[in-house]
Every structure is written in structure tokens, then in C-alpha cells.
Amino acid sequence: MQFDGDALTIDLSMSMQEIAEFAAFVRPRLEFIERIEALEGSTLKRSALLAVLVSIKRAKPQIVIPFLEAGKMHNKHYGTMHFICAA
Amino acid sequence: MSTKQEQLKAIFIEEAGEIIEKLDVDILRFEENPTDFALLNEVFRGVHTLKGNANAFGFSRLGGFVHHFEDVLDHYRSTKESIEVEILELIVNSVDLIKETMTCELDALPTLPAAYESNLEAIKALIAFKKGKPVEPTATTTAPAVLGDLASEFGLGCTDQYEQLLTQAATLMATTQEGDERIWRIDLTLDSDSYRRGVDCFVFIALLGEKAKGIESVFDCEKIPALETFVCDQNFMQHIGIVVLTAQSRVEIEENFEFLEAHEYRITPIDAAPKVETQAVAVAQAPVEATTAVASSAKSTIRIDTNKLDELFDSVGELVIAQNFIAQNEKIHAIADESIGRTIETLSKITKRIQDRVMSLRMVAIRDTFDKMKRVVRDTSKKTGKALHLNVLGEETEIDKTMIDSLSDPLIHIIRNAIDHGLEADSAARIAAGKSVEGTITLRAFHKSGSIVISVSDDGRGINKAKVLQKAIAKGIVTADENLTDSQIFALIMQPGFSTADAISDLSGRGVGLDVVKTSIEKLRGKIEIESVEGQGTTFSMVLPLTLAIIDGMLVQAAGEIYIIPTLSVVESLRPEREIVHAFQEKGEFISLRGQHLPIVRLGAYFGHEERRIEPWEGILVCVETEMGRIALMVDELVGRQQVVIKPLGKALARQREISGGAILGSGDIALILNIDALSPHAIEMSHA
């Protein structure tokens, strides 16, 4: 995880423990974070991380999470994955 | 209409009934918590299914109404706008109207419910108003803007979008389908503790992906809360839909999910899209897979016609009788062969096990009945203007399915009675009595001494014993010199025409209700007990047998005949001392037992059998509880206690109220089951005539 100014870059293949640490890290700093990027080449491996990112977006709608906002991602192991939630 | 269509229609009716029942319950839960939009979504899904099914079967009036109602639900679930009280009322009323319209459709009535048009207009007006006015979402429900935009861009709600993405994926896969490949849909609904169990949907997607030609998944993130309330180790991903193109069989696919609970996944084959060249292969395979699917789903639940279940139960009843006959047959016992004894013992155990298992098939949780009562409480509360809180306990208690249907009306009446008469007239009266403004109604089900008790309690003013007694004397139901116990006085309110209500409301107070309740419960071989403390409240308890098909009875012999007394009524049995037996001219015989004088009823004489007259201290007295107090039945011998399968009586005996049924004993003899309450009023004079 890299914090550069107001942008956070994360490895999508975090373990459960790292996901919990990530959520704990973001909580008190949410107002300073404007963007969360995925580390290039990293692969989402746990739905818990997806849930954390959606929950961050719910708490701060203006935050930019390109990977999430694309609404879908493709991976050779998991195929195409769509993420949807109600307005 | 073809048989197939009739079958489909029957399935629709059953499913629609279930959906509407669930709607009724869910809408009340939502009314209690109008910010629970997940629940509103659930309601929406039910309504959506109902609409599709209704239109498919040509029930256009139902379909039309539900279509507009769905728009209302869709609006609120998408905007998460707070719902005003009057709109909630409109929604609740609409569910009522759906129920009524469904009945009109099923009965092919030309007319519709009176409120159909006005309710429909109100719904349409609401939607028009909402569409004309931009909606301000509530502050607490901010959603990811881009994701929301995506949904609105396609004009889709979350469920529609979810389904559409899965359908698109399947259609796309069908274009590359070849050979023995099939398209499967897998729905994952993992429990919230799945992470703690080390289960993540990504594992399954990866496993499926390893052997698939194509895989696509859709994650429904709707229930994920904002970061403030988010818990990392809790799974908020409610639905994940996976579409996979693979040559794997169902069994092979299923192996991936062996560590999941059965309710956490569902595998469904998807037929190929019609325009695909390889369609023939897929369609040809479909029936085989469909059969497999049915076989697989049969592992969890299957629907059975209750008549078939009753027939099965009857057959098991015959089996029990035959088994008893063998077990008690003296000629068989006389055979000095140990292996025969062991075989009979094994047969007895197996028969008992079969009987228990078949019995359990008829047992259902009382939850659904209690859920319906929530609506009754709500409506009565509104009608009477009394604020109240409902406590529901023991919803999981199981009761015979055949009893469930007959329980609703008595329960409704008792609940309405409790609210209308039991609770104080207004909040001022409650405050003056040192109680909270909100009244409490407690609905409870529990097992007690081999019976099921369903009780309705209120914390209201209690029954005024003096007033009840005074009214009963005035109506000539009892005389002033009768010495009645509290429970006998309370039981008077269930006499026909009895009502202490000063005013008649449209809910209760006409005195035609509680006696009907009593009769209904008696038809179920049960009884009603009333407990009340003035100023503190009243409890009506319906004590019911576990099942209508079997009775736990005490077998007694009188004048050479065997009778069965329901154990529920038996208090005690004894051979009395000569000193406690008294005889009064023209009043018959009595026994003094712990300060109470119980009339003695000679059972043999009552039924007109010739008998050698013996004195009470030479026989056995079985003390039983009747609605008019305790009596002592005099019998020659106690044969034993056993469960017997109840057999209906022929028309001739059915009119004899003292007998409620018959049973075939192991010896092949027939025994009559006594209806104790019908026995008591004339018992004394008859037995001493």
C-alpha cells in the first residue's frame, strides 16, 4: 500500500488480515483520501476487499476508485466479474 | 385447459399464495422499520414474481394492479426516500387488495374488490407525483455515484441489472458452445459468517474457472454498508451469480461446493439461446439435466399433497394396530420360540419409528400462523386507537398441519378480544393504573405435559369476577348459591350469548365470539384455560393435543367395555376410602377429596350397560377435569395408558356427543373415546337413574 499525497495505491491480492488493516488505515484518514488505485498487475482475490472498497465509496461518494467504477474487471482465473449496487 | 396447464396453474396458485402470505408478513415488518430497504427489496422481488406469473396465466387484473404497485416499491427501494405514514398505509392496503384481487381472479368473478379502482388511482397518482418531482435521497443512504449512474443509465433497478448481466453472459456463451458443453448458472448466497469459515466466493469462481471454457460473475453489492458500520470479517455480499460454460457434469460442479451449506448455493442448467447452431445438442440434453436437477433438489424439500400424507398416516395407523394385534396375541405368545419374541420386538420398534417419522411429516412450525397474527394486532391496534407492543414467543413450536388451519380464527378472536376488552380503554386509564402507555400482548406457543399450549396474554385490566358472576346469574347461566372456583367463573365468559362488554364494537362484544372459539378448540380435542388477575391482565391458553390423529389415552374398563379417557383431562385416579364417599338423596354420590366434593359418575350405568352394582370404594375413581369442574368417573379397572389411533365413528354414533371417536386396540377390540365435557352436565342424573 502506497500513500502518495491524496492517492492510495493498493495491491488487490491482499490477505484477510491485510484487508482488515487496510480498512483500519482508511477509516480515520478517509477525508484526506481522494483516490484509490490498484497496483498494476495485481489481482483481486477476496470478495472482502471488494466489499471494503464499496463501503468506502458509500461513506465518501466523491472518492475515485477507477477499478470499482469501471463496474467490471477481467482476469484469466476468474473470468469477467461485474460489480453492481443500487443507487 | 390441458392437464399440463392445469398443473402449472395449480403450481402458480400455490406459489402466488405463498408470495402473498410472505408479502403480508414482510410489509408489516417493513412498516415497523421503514428504513429497512433490504426488506423492501425482498418485497419488491416477491411482487415482481407475482406480476410475471399473474400475467402469464391471464390474470390481467391482478397483473395490472401489481404492475403499478411494483412501480411504487421500485421508486422507494431505488431512491431510499423516507416513506410517509400515509404512503405506508397505502402500501399495506395494497397488499390487502392484492389478496382480494387474487381471490376474484381465482373464482373468475366479474367484479373486483370495492377499493380496487381507488387504490389503483392512488398508486398511479403517487407515481406520477414522484416522477414529476426530483427526489432528495436521505443523507444516510449515499450510494456510489458512478455505480448508481450506471444502473440509471440503463433504466434498471439492481435486481433487473443483476439478472440482465447474467442473461447477457449466458447468451454470449451460447455462441461459443459446442460438443458436450453446457451453460450453468450458479447462485451463491453465502452466510454472513462465511469469511470466518474460510469461505470466499472467489475460491469457487477460480475452481469453476479452471475447467470452464468461459465464466462470468455478477456481484450484488447492495447490502454493503458504509465504512462507519462495516465489519471486515462479515460477508455482506448477499448474492453472487455465476454463469459458466463447461463440459463438467452437475455432480462435478457440485463437488466444488461440498463445504457449503445446502442453502448457500444453487446450480441450474441454462438452455442454449435459440439462434445458436449447437442448440439441438443443448436442448436434447436439457430434459436429462432437468431430471437430475429435480432429483438433486429433492434432497432438500419436496411438495406433497396433504391428502397423500393423510392416506400414508392412515396406513401407518393400520400398521400400528396390526403390530399391536401381533404383540398382544396370546396364541403367538404361547409359541415357545425366542426368535419369534425377538422378531416381534424388532417389529414393534420399527413400527414405532415409522409412526414417529410419519407423524413428524405432519408437524409444522407455528411461525406462519403467528406472523399472520401480527397483522391482526396491527389492524386492531389502529382500529381501537390503542398503542401496543406485541411479544411473540415460541414461534418454532411445531403443531399438526391439520390443526394450523383451524387455529387462525380462534386466535384472531382472542387477540381482538384481548386488545378491545382486555387492555384499558385509553392511555389515561393505563397511566392511572401505574402502567406504561403502551399495552403489551404476548403470543406464546410451548409444550406442556405432552400437549401444545398457545396462549394470548394482555397486561390490561383483567377480568372482573364479580361482574361476570353477576351477569351469569342474571342470565340464568348459574344460580346464586353455586360455589364456583375462579376458573369456573372465568369459563362462564365462553358461554353462548355471554358478554360483559357495555358497548358492542365491530371487533367484539356481541357475546357470539368466545363460545365459537371454545367450540372450535374443542373440535380440535383441545380446551381453553383462562387465568386473570384484576388490574394486571388476562391469559387465554388453548391447550391442544400434539396431533389430531393420535390420542394419548387412559384405557379403563367399566361393565365389561373398554373406554378411553383423554389423558389431557385426567387429574388423578384412586380407590377411595369408604369414609370419603357420601351419598345424598336425589343428588347422587360424591367423594370428598382435599376439601372438594366431586360427583361420582358410574361409567357403566351412564352408557346403559347392565352391571353388578358395587360400591365406589370397591371400584376405581378417575378424577377428570371438565369445563364445569371436576368429576370422578367410576370404573371397574384401569387397563393402561397408551397412544391410540383415532378412528371416526359412523353416522349413528357421531350424534352421540359423549363419544368423540373410536380406536382399535391391539386385541382387535374396539374402544370408545370419551368426550369428557359432553359427559358432565347430565352425568350425575344418568348414572344414578
Residues 6+ apart with CB under 8 A from B590: B581, B582, B583, B584, B597, B598, B599, B600
Determine the pLDDT at residue B244. Answer: 92
Strand order in the sheet with A2-4: A2-4, A7-10, A35-38
Query: What's the pLDDT at B565?
Result: 92
Average pLDDT of span B444-456: 84
Compute the 3-state secondary structure of chain B and give helix, strand, coil in percent, each to the nearest 5.
Answer: 50, 20, 30
Question: Contacts of residue B232 in chain A, CB cutoff 8 Å?
Answer: 16, 19-20, 23, 48, 52
Residue from A17, A42, A47 whose CB has the most chain B CBs within 10 Å, to mutate: A47
Among residues B19, B28, B27, B10, the alpha carbon closest in space to that of B49 is found at B19
CA distance B35 to chain A (A): 15
pLDDT at B196: 79
CB pairs under 8 A between A and B: 150
CA distance A8 to chain B (A): 16
Q: What is the pLDDT of residue B3?
A: 58
| Number of domains present in the structure of chain A | 1
Q: Where are the beta strands (DSSP E) in B110-238?
A: 182-188, 212-220
Mean pLDDT of B379-393: 89
Does residue A30 lie within any of the structural domains?
yes
Sheet of strand B659-664, all strands in order from the earlier edge strand to the far edge: B637-645, B550-558, B561-566, B670-674, B659-664
**Residue that wins the pLDDT comparison between B403 and B513:** B403
Stretch B297-305: mean pLDDT: 63
Torsion sign (Cα): B484, B485, B486, B487: negative
Rounded mean pLDDT, B561-580: 89
Q: Which three-class secondary structure state does DSSP give residue B641?
A: strand
**What tens digit of pLDDT does each residue of B611-646 get?**
677 888 888 999 998 877 788 999 999 988 877 877
Domain with A76 in it: 2-82
What is the SS3 assignment for B536?
Answer: coil
Predicted confidence (pLDDT) at residue B283 exceeds the cutoff of 70: no
- The set of cell numbers assigned to B403 is 390443526
Portion of chain B with pLDDT greater than 90, in percent: 11
Q: Are B460 and B419 in contact (CB under 8 A)?
A: no
Mean pLDDT across B316-341: 81
Cite the DSSP H helix spans in B246-385. Answer: 250-255, 279-297, 306-328, 330-334, 338-361, 367-384
d(CA B345, CA B351): 10
d(CA B661, CA B421) in angstroms, rounded, equals: 37
Disruptive mutation site among B41, B73, B150, B165 for chain A (greatest number of A CBs within 10 Å): B150
Using DSSP's 3-state secondary structure scheme, residue B620 falls into strand
CB contact under 8 A, B215 and A20: no
- pLDDT tens digits, residue range B118-152? 888 888 888 887 776 443 333 333 333 333 333 34
- At B156, is the pLDDT very low, low, confident or very high (cuts 50, 70, 90)? very low
Please count the CA atoms within 13 angstroms of the CA of B428 that sit on its side-chain side: 0
The overall average pLDDT reported for chain B is 79
**Cα–Cα separations (whole angstroms), residue B170 to A80, B167, B254, B276:** 12, 5, 19, 12
Interface of A with B in 13-32 (CB under 8 A): 16, 19-20, 23, 26-27, 30
HSE (CB half, 13 Å, CA atoms) of B435?
A: 22
Q: Is residue A17 part of a domain?
A: yes
Say whether B146 and A69 touch across the interface (CB within 8 A): yes
**CB burial class (10 A; 0-12, 13-18, 19+) of residue B189?**
middle
pLDDT the model gives residue B503: 43
pLDDT at site B315: 84
Q: pLDDT band at A52, cuts 50/70/90?
A: very high
Q: Is A59 on the interface with B (CB under 8 A)?
A: yes
Three cell numbers, residue B264: 448457500
Alpha-helix runs per DSSP H in B558-669: 603-606, 651-654
Question: Touching check for A79 and chain B: CB below 8 Å?
Answer: yes
A61 domain residue, yes or no? yes
Nearest to A78 among B41, B157, B206 (CB): B206
What residues of A are in contact with residue B146 (Cβ under 8 Å)?
68-69, 71
- Domain assignment present for A65: yes
Contact B573, B638 (CB under 8 A): yes
In a domain, A40, yes or no: yes
Give the β-pairing of B182-188 and B388-393: unpaired
Does residue A47 fall inside a structural domain? yes
Cell of B391: 411479544
- Rounded CA separation A72/A61 (Å): 18
B323 grid coordinates? 403390530
Task: Say yes or no for a CB contact (<8 Å) between A23 and B148.
Answer: no
What confidence score (pLDDT) does residue B154 get? Answer: 35
B349: helix, strand or coil: helix
Tell me what pLDDT residue B621 has.
Answer: 93
Determine the length of chain A: 87
Report the C-alpha gap between B384 and B276 in whole angstroms: 63
Mean pLDDT of B275-301: 40
A19 domain residue, yes or no: yes
Closest CA to B320 of B295, B299, B350: B350
Q: Do B147 and A84 touch (CB under 8 A)?
A: yes
Q: Which helix (H) or strand (E) holds B642?
A: strand B637-645
A59 three-class SS? helix
Q: Measured between alpha carbons, how far is B517 from B521 in angstroms, rounded to an integer?
A: 6
**Does residue B280 surpass a pLDDT of 50?**
no
Distance CA B288, CA B378 (A): 49
| β-bridge partners, B617 | none
The distance of A10 to chain B (nearest Cα, Å) reads 17
In a domain, A87, yes or no: no
Q: Ramachandran region of residue B562, left (φ > 0), alpha (ψ -120 to 50) or beta?
A: beta
Backbone angles phi, psi at B344, to 5 degrees: -65, -40
More confident residue, B510 or A47: A47
Query: Do B224 and A58 count as a contact with CB atoms less than 8 A apart?
Result: yes
Give which of B166, B178, B171 is closest to B273, Cα–Cα: B171
Residue showing cell 423492501: B40
ipTM, two decimals, is: 0.94
Nearest Cα neighbor of B242 from B272, B274, B207, B275 is: B207
- The separation between the first and the last C-alpha atoms of chain A, rounded to the nearest angstrom, is 29
Q: Are B534 and B491 in contact (CB under 8 A)?
A: no
- Gyration radius of chain A over CA positions: 12
